[in-house]
Amino acid sequence: MPWYFFPSKGICPDIISSHISKEFGPGASVESSPGKNAKNGELGYWINLANRPSSRTIEGLGKDVIRWEKEEWTRKRRQIFLRTQEDVIDRSYDNLQKTTRFLRRPVDDIANRCQWQVNGERFCDAPVNTVVQSIRPLGKGAVGEVDEVRVADADDFVIVNVGDVDVVERFVRKTVAISRHKRIAERDLKAVANEIASLRKIDVHPHIVKIIGSYQKKTVHRVDFVFQLTYPVGDEDLGGFFERMKTIYKRIPQVESVQREIMADWALGKVPYRDANIMERLWEATDEDLVLVIQYRLWLEKWYHCLASALAFMHLNNVHHKDIKPKNVIRRGEHIYFTDFSSARNFEDGQTTTTESFAQATRLFAAPEACNDGEGHRHGSKADIFSLGLLFVEMMTVHNGQDVNDLQEYIDGYNGFSDTYSTRQYWRVTDRFEPWFESHESGIGGSRAVFETCVKPMLALDKDQRPTAQEAKNIILEYFQGWRVMACPCKDSVDD
């Protein structure tokens, strides 16, 4: 039988072989590997046929090849997506015991191994340059400069084992300058002491940074600087993580034409509903970018409960954070932590509000009651709930493959929201979040469902209508029980 050439655009031979008999009868065969057409160099397959195919048959086979190619591509992307997702989740369960030890590592253990414990206090009177050495600046916090440091005599210490490699542990040092004026200096020192006291009450939680200790730089008559050491050093804050995902999304071409195939897979049970639309978004991603986005999205899914759990633990121990925003949440690998408690306040059992002056919270994430600059305006634990809900809105936006800037463009101008200091406040536009997620219906079981169930109650303008942190945590935990998400010690925590 003579051989005829059919262009294939790289489709694998086993797919062509499986369709040959349907098109040309049982006697037809195809070469096991693709070849080239000697006339034009086009890639394709040589098929052995008894009779010369008609032009209609050739045209029909060409259409089939395109369809087969898309089916093969769909199968490959689906396999990578689901396999990667399962691998990330499985590893989190396999490493749960190790993760628990890492996240719940006692602060005193670190201080003791660094020989910093003195009569129960951690190096309070040590000379400045004998405690740690600076490695690099990290930026500025609400009340001081922040840098990364390590143990000064690090060559003599092995602090932590990472995998099979012994490394010297590193810390975050915040430097707080103390005023030269006596009355203001007393206020500064009180604020520092309050932050340390707040952290020491709550830093046993796996998603709150740990206060290692503090020390001072003094002159004869006064304290010039107070230094605080916290642990761990983050890879980046949550805002930086959002930018990281934005960079990946920008590299991925938008393809709208594959939605039908993806949703058909979902209808057949091949793709979970929570992943259907995001798979369309990642259709043209490289394998490397596809794996990164899957991994990062799974982290975000886990972090909803992690952050709610940490806030519930703060409030259980009578601490308000008062400045929840992406910059004050850091990640180290897949682990997330609340940090920068310089605005935090302690409150008495049974109280839900504090009576200090207006909040220091960043206005964009502040609750409406915290944006009133009147002296003595009352706000407290429910303001933290509102701010965390706004943080979740940005997390959901990024999880869905969108950019925070896209969200802010969507709400710009609505109810006075703008770039000015006094009007750049999310609380003004909370009623626009629901239609925003309706227009980007993807993600965990549908972003609209997540928003309505878990986040919308946290954003009630009337603070009395918002859930407590414990209630918010329980709502999130219950919602995600229907999905297989990454393991984390905070889900079985007895602390909260």
What is the mean pLDDT of the segment spanning 482-494?
Answer: 78
Q: How many domains, the chain?
A: 3
Task: Judge whether 208 and 197 are in contact, CB under 8 Å.
Answer: no
- Assess whether pLDDT exceeds 50 at residue 309: yes
Q: What is the span of the domain harbouring residue 46?
A: 3-68
- Assess whether pLDDT exceeds 60 at residue 405: yes
What is the mean pLDDT of the segment spanning 77-83?
Answer: 79
- Residue 126 belongs to some domain of the structure: yes
- Assess whether pLDDT exceeds 90 at residue 7: no
Residues 120 and 53 in one domain: no
- Residue 93 belongs to some domain of the structure: no
- Assess whether pLDDT exceeds 50 at residue 276: yes
- Residue 97 belongs to some domain of the structure: no
pLDDT tens-digit map of 407-465: 999 998 888 888 777 788 999 999 999 989 887 655 444 567 888 999 999 999 999 99
Residues 123 and 54 in one domain: no
Residues 293 and 405 in one domain: yes
In this predicted model, which residue has the larger pLDDT, 27 or 332? 332
Residues 480 and 346 in one domain: yes
Residues 159 and 253 in one domain: no
- Assess whether pLDDT exceeds 60 at residue 172: yes
Low-confidence winner among 71-80, 159-168, 323-332, 426-435 (lowest mean pLDDT): 159-168
- Assess whether pLDDT exceeds 60 at residue 101: yes
- 76 by Cβ neighbours in 10 Å (0-12 / 13-18 / 19+) ranks as exposed
Q: Which of 16, 38, 68 is the last residue of a domain?
A: 68
